Structure 1
Amino acid sequence: MTQFDPRFPDATDAAPHAIVIGAGLGGLASAMRLGAKGYRVTVIDKLDRCGGRGSSITQNGHRFDLGPTIVTVPQVYEKLWAACGRNFHDDVTLKPLHPFYEVRWPDGTKFKAMQDTDEMEAEVAKIAPSDVKGYRRFLKDSERRYQVGFEGMVAKPMHKAWETIKVLPLFGMLRADRSILGLAKARVKNDKLRMALSFHPLFIGGDPRNVTSMYALVAYLEKTYGVHYAMGGVQAIADAMANVVKDQGGILRMQTQVDEILVQQGRCTGVRLVNGEVLEASVVVSNADAGHTYTHLLRDHKRKRWTDAKLDKKRWSMGLFVWYFGTKGTAEKWPDLGHHTIINGPRYEGLLKDIFIKGKLCEDMSLYVHRPSLTDPSVAPEGDDTFYVLSPVPHLGHDNGVDWEEMRETYRQRVAAVLEDHMPGFEQHLSASMSFTPEDFRDRYLSPNGSGFSLEPRILQSAWFRPHNVSEEVKGLFLAGAGTHPGAGVPGVVSSAEVLAQMVPDAAPVQVPAE
């Protein structure tokens, strides 16, 4: 095969050129799919290593996964690798977790999530024996929503209104108009269990009080496929994806930023980089946030649907405050704190309203604590620990926006005060520390409003109502990642590449001239 020279992307003796903007998991999956279809692929990313929000930073021997931390649907990776003629498990090692995670409340109540149904019913019974029957009904609700919402929609193109319209009767039957919290309230009476059954959409940027009950499917996913950790972190998955792209002949250009998508006569012709360099291409896939793609990368192109005004009216997911820290000599300390822990504050619904609707940064908080060093010794020096603590906070688009320059350290101290109850004396052992605020998400990931997960996954911002995988604004432009169908979360962004692969034509066979 002719070696690809990026200076001459449309050379007649080479396969068509495709550019992927962004080396996040959705962009890398798209590059793999395009490479398998015969394209010469160039992936461009502003960061110094691949993975996007799934990348990592190492400080004082501690490796911090910056974003997603778990693997919940291994088959999306298996299908992706298989499309490239490879075996995912040859490249990435997954370790199942037991329990999946533990949920804690201020009064000392604890709830462990596990794969075995009998064990889960025992956990429910410890909190509210009368809710076991309702929990069983919730599991049935979850399975049916999985069949319709995941199997039926996730990997299918939804850019035609009819694809959404034809599932509306099923959505009506399943009460998709009811929120996930509303469904939990209909099934169990205990407030703690209602939280434990409804909080999952927070990990894709959704307010459980408003996102559709279709997201109850997560319970079925966990029960059926388990929860896994990728040894080496999600960065290991991103690195493995990048290696497949390179093996296909693709090129990754890191620390390089796209400034504009070029359009001629309504068709995408390539990109212009921040340094002024122009790269031509037959196909462009943007793994940048859909909002950034339309408002910045296509800023000089007239848009019919995704105008600045329309995007400004959309509801964006909440922001995140994430504190990454390491502790020295603590591998044997805090033995009851597992790999994944959810620490609830005194409020649930009130806190959600403050974060998503009022845009208010509160004194109280709920936290997700990730302690990967229990499972993966490579994340910390021997005998030490690596932690990642996440607090949902308002995004930057609210009228009463938070000044994170001023609040970063103050809020970190508030987080530390909550953690002290679960990790006594931990600050005496700190050996590494850094934090991300919504302003970092805005600047590092070019995320509109510094949101953690792009558009909030409400029912009227999902499927056809979400930015499409094939752009209706420009021919030859496709979208992947959290801001397009099927949405945020690692299974969603990886599946977005499967969707666009169904719409991007196969590359024409290369004509090799006779010697």
Structure 2
Amino acid sequence: MLTRVDPCLIEQATRTDAPHAVVIGAGLGGLASAMRLGAKGYRVTVLDRLDSPGGRGSSITRDGHRFDLGPTIVTVPQLFRDLWAACRRDFDDDVDLRALDPFYEIRWPDGSTFTARQDRVAMRAEVARLSPGDLRGYDRFVRDSEARYWFGFEDLGRRSMHRLVDLIKVLPKFAWLRADRSVYAHAARRMRDERLRMALSFHPLFIGGDPFNVTSMYALVSHLEAAFGVHYAIGGVDAIARAMVRVIKGQGGLIRQGAEVDEIAIAKGRATGVKLLGGEAISADIVISNADAGHTYDHLLRNHPRRRWTTARLKRSRWSMSLFVWYFGTRGTRGMWQDADHHTILNGPRYKGLVRDIFRRGVLADDMSLYVHRPSVTDPTVAPEGGDTFYALSPVPHLGHADPVDWAVEAEPYRQKVQKVLEERLLPGLGAHLTASEVFTPETFRDRYLSPYGTGFSIEPRILQSAWFRPHNVSEEVRGLYLVGAGTHPGAGLPGVISSAEVLAQLVPDAVPVGVIR
């Protein structure tokens, strides 16, 4: 049985003597795990199939425009500061994080708007401007949100939920907080104005959840934004990923890009390493998978019998929606479009109907809602002089529905529809200024990230697919195998994947080099 070792002894450990941990995937959850394990004294090797670190948090550059491919905001910077502190480093020395004010603006087709800010007085003024009669209900929603934050995020979200007894213990609290009610239904109980119901319930879409079916626990996001703010890292989330790589290398860890794991090696029911495409075998004392949980169980463990996460069960699971993302650059636009700030949400004419088309019917609707990211108003390094860098994101069905969208046919017509909406509602004259252009469809998510059905956020965070019901951080199928990232507990989004590494560190004992302490 390993006992806890003084950190100084771990720091002095001979790397060749320390236990070896292999991390599959250099997404943010995998990189955070590598940092945590390095701090605990492990020799760490990170294997990733892409040509640069960060996974969905990586970037590409086209014609001088740098595009963040995935997450664009940091909502709980303290999680990163805690991670760096565990490695005896200072996050703010390595990453330039800027607070945004406002957070984002929501726009509806009738011309009305809602501007989200951290300041409570400003938020109440926005509510009063749209619907004065909803102020009391808004105040109640704020209190509801804080209660769910302390229970759902600070308690359940920062510890392992792999034991059934842990779920049983918290069932009364789930019942008291009405976790069975959807986040939209909860907002509707507090607000009468349909616009405010949307503004307070759409957040699960940022982590792949249907607001009309995802548990009301996700109302916690409103408190999370108010308590910690919304931030942007200069250089994008890619800059955070690269800073993480520097920490890992400083710990003596190894990161191999272009190395795709094909299978987890198992002997006597225990993970003993991995096999790469091409046949190379790498041995390990423990294996951590930051690959999608579905890919981990259905492909990397395809030759190992599974009791819980079988192929049939994975097919029965409800998966998050996918994404259509148009990355584009413009020239000569710096200073134009003054009302297009860092983050804008353009709502289509439908909310519930569009969400139903995406999640339940699996059809590509004629109308759309868009999240528009314009980082160049905060970070001039993302675009050439005088230009701007954007992405426009539209939630779309994943590829697992009965009649999946043929994106080879639909990608360009849909991009043109996105451009038309942008020109009509946010960026007039856009076509005359376009330069760089890149499109990601669900097929890109499937092929680039090996995401089942091309989903954007893995398994959907419904109540019966959360906490104990979600793939556990410690595998119940194979000893010595751990899972982190969006598809496991606590879930998707930057706070979720960074927290999954924190949970991992609680489950994995400190490394004890051979001959030091046993």
TM-score of Structure 1 vs Structure 2, range by shorter chain:
over 0.9
Q: 2:192 aligns with which of 186, 189, 192?
A: 189
AA aligned opposite 2:180: D
Shift of 1:16: 1.0
Shift of 1:20: 0.2
SS in 2 for 1:189: coil
Instruction: Report the counterpart of residue 60 of structure 2 in structure 1.
Output: 57
Shift of 1:13: 5.0
Summarize deviations over 1:418-465 as a string: whole Å, max 9, x none: 101110111111110000000000000000000000000000000000
Q: 1:435 aligns with which of 439, 453, 474?
A: 439
Instruction: Report the counterpart of residue 277 of structure 1 in structure 2.
Output: 280
Instruction: Report the counterpart of residue 70 of structure 2 in structure 1.
Output: 67
Q: Distance in 1 between matches of 2:319 and 2:32?
A: 24
Shift of 1:510: 4.6
Instruction: Report the counterpart of residue 447 of structure 1 in structure 2.
Output: 451
Summarize deviations over 1:270-307 as a string: whole Å, max 9, x none: 00000100000001000000000000000000000000
Instruction: Report the counterpart of residue 249 of structure 1 in structure 2.
Output: 252
SS in 1 for 2:495: helix
Summarize deviations over 1:137-194 as a string: whole Å, max 9, x none: 1000000001111111111010001111111111111111100000110000000000
Summarize deviations over 1:84-103 as a string: whole Å, max 9, x none: 11111111111000100000
Q: Distance in 1 between matches of 2:482 and 2:27?
A: 15
State the TM-score, normalized to the length of structure 2. Answer: 0.96
- Is residue 2:484 matched to residue 1:480? yes
Q: Distance in 2 between matches of 1:435 and 1:511?
A: 54
Instruction: Report the counterpart of residue 242 of structure 2 in structure 1.
Output: 239
Query: Is the CA contact 2:17–2:513 (under 8 Å) kept in the aligned structure 1?
Result: no
Query: Is the CA contact 1:13–1:510 (under 8 Å) kept in the aligned structure 2?
Result: no
Q: Distance in 1 between matches of 2:102 and 2:456?
A: 26
Summarize deviations over 1:185-209 as a string: whole Å, max 9, x none: 0000000000000000000000000
Q: 1:335 aligns with which of 334, 338, 348?
A: 338
AA aligned opposite 1:489: G
Q: 1:222 aligns with which of 222, 225, 232?
A: 225
Q: Distance in 2 between matches of 1:262 and 1:13?
A: 21
State the TM-score, normalized to the length of structure 1. Answer: 0.97
Instruction: Report the counterpart of residue 6 of structure 1 in structure 2.
Output: none
- Is residue 2:129 matched to residue 1:110? no
Summarize deviations over 1:101-149 as a string: whole Å, max 9, x none: 0000001101000011110011111111111111111000000001111
Q: Distance in 2 between matches of 1:401 and 1:231?
A: 38
SS in 1 for 2:156: coil
AA aligned opposite 1:307: T
- Is residue 2:369 matched to residue 1:366? yes
Query: Is the CA contact 1:316–1:455 (under 8 Å) kept in the aligned structure 2?
Result: yes
Instruction: Report the counterpart of residue 349 of structure 2 in structure 1.
Output: 346
Instruction: Report the counterpart of residue 181 of structure 2 in structure 1.
Output: 178
Q: Structure 1 residue runs of 4+, over 6 Å off?
A: none
Aligned-residue CA RMSD in angstroms? 1.0
Q: Distance in 1 between matches of 2:514 and 2:317?
A: 44
SS in 1 for 2:486: coil
Q: How does 1:60-139 map to 2 (within 5 A)?
A: 60-139=63-142
Residues 1:368 and 1:13: Cα distance change in structure 2 (over 3 Å): closer
Instruction: Report the counterpart of residue 495 of structure 1 in structure 2.
Output: 499
Q: Distance in 2 between matches of 1:117 and 1:36?
A: 39
Q: 1:405 aligns with which of 408, 422, 426?
A: 408
Residues 1:365 and 1:503: Cα distance change in structure 2 (over 3 Å): same
AA aligned opposite 2:508: V
Query: Is the CA contact 1:271–1:280 (under 8 Å) kept in the aligned structure 2?
Result: yes
Shift of 1:477: 0.4
AA aligned opposite 1:33: R
Shift of 1:14: 1.8
Query: Is the CA contact 2:343–2:373 (under 8 Å) kept in the aligned structure 1?
Result: yes
Q: How does 1:317-332 map to 2 (within 5 A)?
A: 317-332=320-335
Q: 2:157 aligns with which of 124, 129, 154?
A: 154
- Is residue 2:432 matched to residue 1:424? no
Query: Is the CA contact 2:15–2:43 (under 8 Å) kept in the aligned structure 1?
Result: no
Q: Distance in 2 between matches of 1:215 and 1:262?
A: 37
Shift of 1:314: 0.1
Query: Is the CA contact 1:13–1:511 (under 8 Å) kept in the aligned structure 2?
Result: no
Q: Distance in 1 between matches of 2:477 and 2:175?
A: 31
SS in 2 for 1:167: helix
Q: 1:465 aligns with which of 466, 469, 481?
A: 469
Summarize deviations over 1:370-421 as a string: whole Å, max 9, x none: 0000000000011100001100000000001000011110110111111011
Q: Distance in 2 between matches of 1:147 and 1:468?
A: 21
Identity %: 68
Shift of 1:12: 10
Query: Is the CA contact 2:442–2:455 (under 8 Å) kept in the aligned structure 1?
Result: yes
Shift of 1:511: 4.0
AA aligned opposite 2:465: Q
Residues 1:49 and 1:396: Cα distance change in structure 2 (over 3 Å): same
Runs (5+) with no aligned partner, structure 1: 1-10
SS in 1 for 2:200: helix
SS in 2 for 1:439: helix
Instruction: Report the counterpart of residue 38 of structure 1 in structure 2.
Output: 41
SS in 1 for 2:306: coil
Instruction: Report the counterpart of residue 509 of structure 1 in structure 2.
Output: 513
Count residues with an aligned counterpart: 502
Runs (5+) with no aligned partner, structure 2: 1-13
Shift of 1:267: 0.5
Query: Is the CA contact 2:16–2:43 (under 8 Å) kept in the aligned structure 1?
Result: no
AA aligned opposite 2:445: F
- Is residue 2:32 matched to residue 1:29? yes
Q: Distance in 2 between matches of 1:137 and 1:329?
A: 46
Q: Distance in 1 between matches of 2:515 and 2:448?
A: 42
SS in 2 for 1:249: coil
Instruction: Report the counterpart of residue 8 of structure 1 in structure 2.
Output: none
Q: Distance in 1 between matches of 2:152 and 2:328?
A: 37
Residues 1:375 and 1:13: Cα distance change in structure 2 (over 3 Å): closer
Shift of 1:509: 2.7
Summarize deviations over 1:59-86 as a string: whole Å, max 9, x none: 0000000000000001110111111111
AA aligned opposite 1:34: L
Q: Distance in 1 between matches of 2:306 and 2:176?
A: 36
AA aligned opposite 2:317: K
